[in-house]
Structure 1
Amino acid sequence: MNATLSASSAPTTPVQALHGHTMGTTWSVRFHARMRTDLHTLHDAVQARLDRVVAEMSTWEPDSDISRFNRADAGTWCVLPGGFATVLAAALEVAARSEGAFDPTISPLVAAWGFGAHAHARGRPSDTALAQARERVGWKHLSFDPTAGRVLQHGGITLDLSAIAKGYGVDVVVTLLRQRGIDAALVEVGGELYGYGRKPDGQPWRVLVESSPDEEADSEGLEPRVLRLDGIAVATSGDRWHAYEHDGTRYSHTIDPRTGVPVNDVAAAVTVVADTAMQADAWATALTVMGTQAGHAHAAALGLAARFLERTPEGLVERATAAFERHLDA
């Protein structure tokens, strides 16, 4: 635990911070509260909420609820915990609105290309292995009963919510902080953020848009972008975070569930601003899969706030929707 001060012992530090680890990454909370706040108690509460997300939705944990579903016998209806059901419902909504660019059943393809908790050997899978993986992928084949909060294991279905669960983790922490009477906070889990309320100086939280710093440094005219977060979330996806090279070929973690192969011309970074971190997280992945041209057109048509960094021979080029521009700090 990195928190070392209590609110009552640090009157000169109006914005306080907590830190921890979850989902193979880190989390942080910066907050301002008018009332006294025991940082140790609050830290433990935040960690407990995030541990619950892991226990429900981590494919790296063999005893998690998602792992038990993935192992369930064909024909079994599995009742899901509330958080799991909420995230699956949101994932299926984004799958439909993205025309399958986002797919919570993508796990067999992720593993086939050498990524994830159950990664196969790195490199291009055989045509047979790829065909077998593709047969097990398809969000439309998933039978989900949101009213009863249960999902049917048809046989061979393996869910993977890693492209949305971190965002959901941010949201549950925000809910906890609001319940605890925290007036303003900036919550981050593995790069996904949500900010609300005003800092002691009356200003909203401001964050630099996460992107590709090494490449940006070589791109003339590409200015840093700062977002105002006051009741909104932001998430960024791109190929610099998860990729590998094998036999001279670079393979991106961004796999198109519609084709079964990694996206060739993936954007350097795709940033999405949304009402919840869960939505921002999922849409950042979906738009990355679509690619810069199709992704930008799709985001604009849906009124999504999205920014794309496209690689060109002249360097990085920014493309942003009108909705995204409205969130930029003046």
Structure 2
Amino acid sequence: MTSATVGVDRRTSPSEPAVLTTRWRTWGCEVALVTRGADPRRHDRAVARMRRELDAVDRAISRFRADSELTAVNARPDVPHPVSALFLDLLADALDAARRTGGLVVPTLGRPLVRLGYDRDLALLPVRVTDGATGTPAARALPAERPPAESWRRIVLDRTGPDGSGTVRVPAGVALDLGSIGKAASADRIAALLAADELAGTGGLVNLGGDLAVLPGPETGAPWEIAIDESGRDDPRPPRTAVRIGTGGLATSSTAVRVWSSRGVGRHHVLDPRTGLPAQPVWRCVSVHAGDCRTANAASTAAVVLGETAPAWLAAHGFAARLVPARAGDHRPVLVGGWPADVAPLPTEIETGTTTGTATDPERTSS
């Protein structure tokens, strides 16, 4: 991993709190910690804490580490397996997302993802270049492996240790994947830890590859400005718009970012649990603002799975959302609920991806 602490002072007045940003790559995506009102030493201590927490999560739930707890659990289905409190916390968040979405977002898609070719870090997979949009009828006609119906309901968690550790048992024929909700829940967790310790009394924003959590606590300045990134892995494009949020979490689920080619067919990572295949690419990306990042992520992922009926589902559940169609040439967003007012178009001088917490330099969300 590489990192660089950026201390560019973009304040319009010396009385405004300074904003510092550190970003690096891990988990196959860019992550960042942005602080407002913290001196460089506190900022650096917070970055060190965030790195430790991310490493702990990786050891717990990575599908690509032979020594992770998740790998051990998947290797021994249908028997109780000892796991850490962190693992149980993240799995509990994933099961909560499954319940809240009626099974549209589940943690039991490990085997379908491997069968579709997502068996190692995304950077090591070939990018689709010639087969058209991912999730096309041709792609969906290929053999699939969907998890047994409602298998997520048969996962058994048992907290037996005084530290919250315990055991987990997954049904036979099921492999866990906690990548989506695990990333969003980690953003919430890290934001809460930093707000209670290293960054107490200051403002901050945790960004894990497009899953963003605002540090809870007292208001310290203007809302954060977030650029909505509609680009794809093989289709770079500058963000067209941004929104401002002051609390909670923001998540964007996309059918264009985590894409790869397997057997000559384009794939994306948002699977429909009902088929075990990539969801129909009705939406290029869906962004949701909610009270926390894991709730926003569950809703944005469910919306991608639902396709055409997503706006009605989001509205019925009280979510604020922005949906961008996947149709070529159609970038008119569908807005749902109390979606924050767009700050659009973006000024041409904006250096997207760098956060200052002002109206001139937004952070970016895309996942």
Give me the TM-score of the superposition, normalised by structure 2: 0.73
Query: How far did 1:198 drift?
Result: 4.6
Contact 1:211 1:236 in 2 (8 A): no
Query: How far did 1:126 drift?
Result: 9.3
Which deviates more, 301-310 or 207-216?
A: 207-216
Query: Distance in 1 between the 2:208 and 2:174 partners?
Result: 28
Query: Distance in 2 between the 1:124 and 1:24 partners?
Result: 24
Give me the TM-score of the superposition, normalised by structure 1: 0.81
For 1:1-330, what aligned pairs fall within 5 Å after superposition? 1-3=3-5, 14-33=18-37, 37-72=41-76, 74=78, 76-117=79-120, 130-131=144-145, 134-135=147-148, 138-145=151-158, 150-178=167-195, 179-180=197-198, 181-196=200-215, 198=219, 202-212=221-231, 224-245=240-261, 249-291=265-307, 293-312=308-327, 315-323=330-338, 325-326=339-340
Question: How many equivalent pairs are there?
Answer: 312
Change in Cα spacing, 1:118 to 1:156, as seen in structure 2 (3 Å) is farther
Query: Distance in 2 between the 1:248 and 1:21 partners?
Result: 28
Query: Distance in 1 between the 2:183 and 2:219 partners?
Result: 24
Query: How far did 1:234 drift?
Result: 0.7
Root-mean-square deviation (Å): 3.4
Query: Distance in 2 between the 1:176 and 1:20 partners?
Result: 20
Contact 2:252 2:297 in 1 (8 A): yes
Q: Alignment partner of 2:157: what SS?
A: strand
Contact 2:214 2:248 in 1 (8 A): yes
The answer for the alignment partner of 2:357 in structure 1 is: none
The Cα offsets for residues 186-209 of structure 1, whole Å up to 9 and x where unpaired, read as 22111211224555xx31211122
Q: What letter is aligned with 1:70?
A: N
Query: Distance in 1 between the 2:294 and 2:159 partners?
Result: 18
Which deviates more, 93-102 or 234-243?
A: 93-102
The Cα offsets for residues 147-175 of structure 1, whole Å up to 9 and x where unpaired, read as 87532133332110011122122122212
Change in Cα spacing, 1:136 to 1:109, as seen in structure 2 (3 Å) is farther
Where do 5+ consecutive residues of structure 1 fail to align? Answer: 218-222
Q: Alignment partner of 1:159: what SS?
A: coil
The Cα offsets for residues 231-266 of structure 1, whole Å up to 9 and x where unpaired, read as 211111111112234676433322211022222333
Q: Alignment partner of 1:316: what SS?
A: coil
Query: Distance in 2 between the 1:47 and 1:329 partners?
Result: 32
Query: How far did 1:184 drift?
Result: 0.3
* Structure 1 segments of 4+ aligned residues over 6 angstroms from their partners: 213-217
Q: What letter is aligned with 1:316?
A: H
Where do 5+ consecutive residues of structure 2 fail to align? Answer: 127-137, 345-367
Q: What letter is aligned with 1:285?
A: T
Q: State the identity %.
A: 24
